[in-house]
């Protein structure tokens, strides 16, 4: 590891050692090494698919089967994915801070839970859950449906099911957002693998910065978040985060 990179990581580790509470914001970049495509990089999903066709409520009402076919495709990819060393590092970080650790994620892939994190705020939902458009019940459903079974129906009332995810044009759950904003006031706020292009999640590092908290970004490239970061670590997060955990013991 380059000396400059080591010094950046050490500074972040030193701040974490002094902290009583830590919050983390993660985006699609942390799951890329697990084989899950991101949305906005050069090979991202929105370069191949149209969000207006697959990720809006209007598209779902117009053609629910087509939207469900796309989510079936994504569920197949995500179901095969395993947590990578970056996920595992964050699970280790939670073990150190216990109830004083919060993980806020924009991801819907469930990999943080599989790696061992438990205090998770899923801002954009979870692809392995569904919500009934009639009775509003939300429940776990990781089934990959056959084309003939689409669109699926609610097991409680028979109503049309939708993926339990936040689509473009929809508001986040207010209680979850309030919890995330509160967590942004933790002593240390880490931003990992997120472009900083999607609001309101992108506002969380600014809130932390404006509150005088220590903000660090871990990413493959600079982003809209970088301006608010006290330290920016540009490299693969599967390399930087495990190294960060090691430095906490040094």
In 3D space, the residue among 63, 65, 11, 55 whose CA is nearest the CA of residue 215 turns out to be: 11
Q: Are 133 and 162 spatial neighbours (Cβ–Cβ below 8 Å)?
A: yes
- Catalytic pick from 112, 124, 156, 209? 124
- C-alpha distances in angstroms, 200 versus 47, 164, 172, 197, 208? 23, 18, 8, 9, 13
**Annotated catalytic residue 87:** no
- Sheet harboring 138-140: ordered strands across? 138-140, 125-132, 161-165
Q: Distance between the two ends of the chain, CA-based, in angstroms?
A: 16
Among candidate residues 201, 195, 198, the one with its CA nearest the CA of residue 217: 195
Q: Catalytic residue numbers?
A: 124
């Amino acid at each position: 590891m380059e000396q400059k990179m080591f010094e950046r990581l050490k500074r972040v580790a030193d701040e974490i050692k002094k902290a009583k509470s830590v919050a983390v914001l993660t985006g699609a970049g942390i799951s890329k090494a697990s084989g899950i495509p991101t949305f906005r990089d050069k090979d991202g999903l929105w370069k191949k698919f149209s969000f207006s066709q697959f990720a809006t409520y209007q598209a779902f009402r117009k053609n629910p089967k087509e939207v469900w076919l796309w989510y079936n495709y994504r569920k197949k990819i995500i179901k095969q994915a395993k947590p990578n060393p970056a996920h595992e590092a964050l699970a280790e970080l939670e073990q150190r801070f216990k109830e004083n650790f919060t993980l806020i994620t924009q991801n819907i892939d469930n990999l943080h839970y599989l790696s061992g994190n438990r205090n998770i705020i899923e801002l954009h939902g979870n692809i392995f859950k569904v919500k009934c458009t009639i009775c509003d019940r939300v429940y776990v459903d990781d089934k990959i449906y056959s084309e003939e079974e689409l669109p699926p129906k609610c097991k409680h009332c028979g109503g049309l099911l939708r993926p339990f995810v936040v689509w473009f044009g929809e508001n986040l759950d207010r209680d979850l957002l309030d919890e995330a904003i509160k967590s942004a006031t933790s002593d240390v706020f880490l931003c990992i693998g997120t472009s900083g292009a999607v609001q309101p999640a992108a506002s969380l590092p600014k809130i932390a910065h404006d509150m005088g908290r220590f903000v660090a970004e871990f990413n493959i490239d600079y982003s809209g978040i970088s301006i608010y970061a006290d330290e920016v670590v540009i490299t693969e997060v599967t390399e930087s985060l495990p190294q960060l955990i090691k430095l906490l013991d040094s």
